[in-house]
Amino acid sequence: MERNEALNLVKQHVKNKNLIKHMLAVEAVMGALAPHLGGDTELWRLAGLLHDIDYDQTFDKPEEHSKLGAQMLEALHLPEDLVNAVRAHNEIHGIERSTAIDKALYCSDPVTGLIVAGALIHPSRKLSVIDKDFILNRFNEKSFARGANRQTIAACSELGLTLEDFVAIALEAMQQSASELGL
């Protein structure tokens, strides 16, 4: 599946513009992580872009989120690695994340929320004015961006990345996509 086709699929199934921006942010982070971890950049970007494809249909049924998305992507004959990563990113299912793409998607999902929250508290509301240290300081503030699960973000260690390196990679990727993210 080409990126434009995937983006059209997202826009067909997801109506919340902020959720679409979140999916674009995860796409950027996954694309930046792939070369560091020996992954297929195009495949990893697609996993990030499509990971919440079912959210509008499952927002009030967390036990179905990512299962339905994986079924949708499987029906489109997308690669098994991508489908499994989407299925496993919702920890409610207790699915073992055994591959690098699984683990990367799992920790990339919440780090984007932490980074966006960091940008939004700055008067400029721009990603370009924040740095890794700013995000790392906010990481330790329990009341900041409460929805960004710190334990899930810290699972980047399962990829052999320090939290500092992971945040740096994610922030740089999102800064490069700032115009598409509206930040």
Res 71: pLDDT: 98
pLDDT of amino acid 88: 97
Out of 1.10.3210, 3.40.1350, 1.10.3470, 1.10.1660, which CATH number does the structure's domain 3-178 have?
A: 1.10.3210
Q: What is the pLDDT of residue 28?
A: 98
Task: Convert the pLDDT of each residue in 160-173 to its tens digit.
Answer: 999 999 999 999 99
Q: Tell me which residue of 159, 139, 163, 147 sits closest to 85, measured CA to CA.
A: 159
User: d(Cα 119, Cα 181) in Å, to the nearest integer?
Assistant: 11
Residue 60, classified by CB atoms within 10 Å of its CB into exposed (0-12), middle (13-18) or buried (19+), is exposed
Q: How far apart are CA 148 and CA 114, in angstroms?
A: 6
Q: Which residue, 95, 90, 91, is CA-closest to 53?
A: 90
- Please name the residue that has the structure tokens 């489908």: 83
pLDDT of residue 148: 97
Q: What is the per-residue pLDDT across 55-90, written as a single tens digit (0 to 9) for each?
A: 999 999 999 999 999 999 999 999 999 999 999 999
Low-confidence stretches of the chain (pLDDT beneath 50):
none
User: Cα separation of 166 and 59, whole Å?
Assistant: 28
